[in-house]
Structure 1
Amino acid sequence: MERGVWRRGLRVGIQTTWVLSKVIVPVTIVVTVLKHTPVIGWIIKLFAPLMNVLGLPGEAAIVLGLGFLLNLYAGIGAMFVLPLGGYQIFVLSVMLSFAHNLLVETAVSKRAGLSATLISLVRVGTAFLFAGVIRLFTPAGSVADAAHTEQVKLDPYLWQMAPSAFLLELLDKAWAAVWQLVLIVIPLMFVIQILKEIQFLDRLAGWMRPVTRALGLPEKAAVPFLAGIFFGLAYGAGVILQATEEVNFTRRELYLMFVFLILCHAVVEDTLLFVPLGVNGWLLLATRLLTAIVITALLAHIWREPSVGPKIAVTNGK
């Protein structure tokens, strides 16, 4: 393989890492600050009245508050603390699978030119809607009564911390975010660039034709689709940004891609994270996949536009 291919792949990976870093690092810093303020506690209380309706203890709002704003790791950590039954664990797992790390992943969606409000509403709305459906079709006797549990302790407030300790935490979180991008995005974009050079992606697009057609998407959507499904929304978004420059997806096509990916992404990692809690991984995966397919296909059927429409040009901040 010629040396130029390696250079082009490395260059694309570094450029994409830089674009995503400009979104993820500031959000990571903001979230870190919020963890040391009463704000997260207020948000948790806002969700608490809904918990009993879903057959969950009031303290389960802590799980959703941490998972929605931070990430799956924070939500799962809280789930280990609470004495939850099998029904409650599965409901929370489904909800967090649909809606987690909202600040970072929604910011990435906005970077692609989409409405951050709409993307957030789709994710959170799907999470609560699906939890309501599960509760509706679950016999009352199978749902354990919501019990009072010990509150999860949040991080100390800013005024309780030494400035040096807080600054070190900010730097650590920012560096961890960038390093994770480097470890995943650069190799991912590097491999994809090589696959483009050997024209493997053209064959892959053909294999994905039935899926993309059913979802109202062009064949070239197969690459960002697979990247998002297996590597996650943030990293899949990097591939989407690159693909958008080359394909010029319409606004409708971009929304359809992101609607699918926000509901079903990083399926391997996210699913395996819940297995130690006793969740059936295959059932959780099927729930996410089928929900994403149904909602995206329904949206594609409702939202129709002419074959020639306005294009979205993503410039990667240039």
Structure 2
Amino acid sequence: MINGRPLKKRTTNVKWTGISSANQRRVVEAIRGGIPKAVKTIGWLLKLIIPISLAVRLLQYTGLLEYIAHFLHPVFQAVGLPGASAIAFVCSLFLPLYAPIAIIGTLHLTIREISILAIMCLISHNTLFESAVQKKTGSSFWFVWCLRVVMSFVAAFIWNLLLPEDMGMPVGHSGVSLETLAFWPMLLDWGMGALKLCLIMALVVTALMILQRLMEAFYVMDWLAHFFAPFMRVMGLSKDSSFLWFVANIVGLTYGSAILIEQMENKRLNVADARMLNNHLAISHSLLEDTMLFVAIGVPLFWVSVPRVLLAMAVVWVLRLLRVR
């Protein structure tokens, strides 16, 4: 006591200025929930990226990659790409985007070439699984699959006409010619490049997992879905599809498949509107995660986001005019 007055107890809890204790708990839980999921995903990525990138680097070192590229060069040259880039695209058809990105990291491509290849892979990646998801939500598997592959080349052709000629080199590009390296120096060069790519991917994935949890905890996803409802009509879609559109563009068709299927089973969207939504999502989905993966290796954000949405809108309106559902 001082002068007969009791001393005030000092609190040992440090509070974040302007943030209530309830919101603090939400943030902490989002981080706690996001990090383990990110670690698990990163572990899976390492198992995928390292062997794929090493295999491609060995193909490149032995000259087999050039042999394969020789047959594919004419087709991809028409859209401004070297034949070797075909391997990344074919890989993207069957696997998530991390696999073609691992291959891109081993190729000596300019930012312009990576931007064109990126739009192809963004439209046509993991097509077997994602087309199966879209079939489950009302569309024809083969129609969606063919739409994605065809529009990949249409987009690449358009991008080749629109992109500036000189856009620089990608992040981490060593500029070392493999033909001049002995085997062990080549292996070291691959190891350094793979390590850099893995670190970038780890940071991006961790940030995305935490961000997703935070958006769920603070109901941001529900608010944004409501906010986007007026834009659905402009894109040729039903206003009832705004929530599903938002989910697919935030977490993608793979991570969002459970939500998409559940919403369709509960008849939140009729079959005709669901098919139009699927046609849009076939061209443009996962605007957050997938887009940022390519931005992380130097691709300009604009060229892998805004034009993709506009292309998806154009596809939907053309299909509406042709009465193709």
TM-score with structure 2 setting the length: 0.58
Partner of 1:7: none
Shift of 1:123: 0.9
Task: Indicate the structure (1 or 2) with the bigger Cα radius of gyration.
Answer: 2
- Unpaired runs of 5+ residues, structure 2, are 1-51, 56-64, 169-176, 180-204
Shift of 1:128: 0.2
Matched-pair contact (CA < 8 Å) for 2:229–2:240: no
- In structure 1, what is the Cα distance between the partners aligned to 2:279 and 2:131? 11
* CA deviation map 1:220-254 (0-9, x unaligned): 21111110010001233322222223335333211
CA pair 280-247 structure 1, distance change in 2 beyond 3 A: same
Shift of 1:301: 4.2
- In structure 1, what is the Cα distance between the partners aligned to 2:162 and 2:228? 34
Partner of 2:279: 259
- In structure 2, what is the Cα distance between the partners aligned to 1:45 and 1:112? 40
1:106 aligns with 2:131: yes
Equivalent pairs, count: 223
Amino acid at match of 2:237: L
* CA deviation map 1:253-302 (0-9, x unaligned): 11111111122211111111112332101331112122122222333344
Partner of 1:291: 311
- In structure 1, what is the Cα distance between the partners aligned to 2:159 and 2:228? 31
- In structure 1, what is the Cα distance between the partners aligned to 2:146 and 2:109? 27
1:275 aligns with 2:295: yes
Amino acid at match of 2:299: V
- Unpaired runs of 5+ residues, structure 1, are 1-31, 36-40, 152-179, 306-318
Partner of 2:151: 126
| Secondary structure, aligned partner of 1:55 | coil
Superposed CA RMSD? 3.8
- In structure 1, what is the Cα distance between the partners aligned to 2:293 and 2:263? 30
Q: What percentage of residue pairs aligned between the two structures are identical?
A: 26
Amino acid at match of 1:290: L
CA pair 215-54 structure 1, distance change in 2 beyond 3 A: closer
- In structure 1, what is the Cα distance between the partners aligned to 2:167 and 2:77? 11
* CA deviation map 1:116-153 (0-9, x unaligned): 111011111111011112334568x7699xxxx979xx
Which moved further from structure 2: 217-226 or 100-109?
Answer: 217-226
Matches within 5 A, 1:222-241: 222-241=242-261
Partner of 1:87: 112
Partner of 2:263: 243
- In structure 2, what is the Cα distance between the partners aligned to 1:236 and 1:289? 18
> Which residue, 77, 82, 91 being the options, matches 1:57?
82
Shift of 1:109: 1.4
Q: Which has the higher contact order (CA 8 A, sep 6+)?
A: 1
| Secondary structure, aligned partner of 2:105 | helix
TM-score with structure 1 setting the length: 0.59
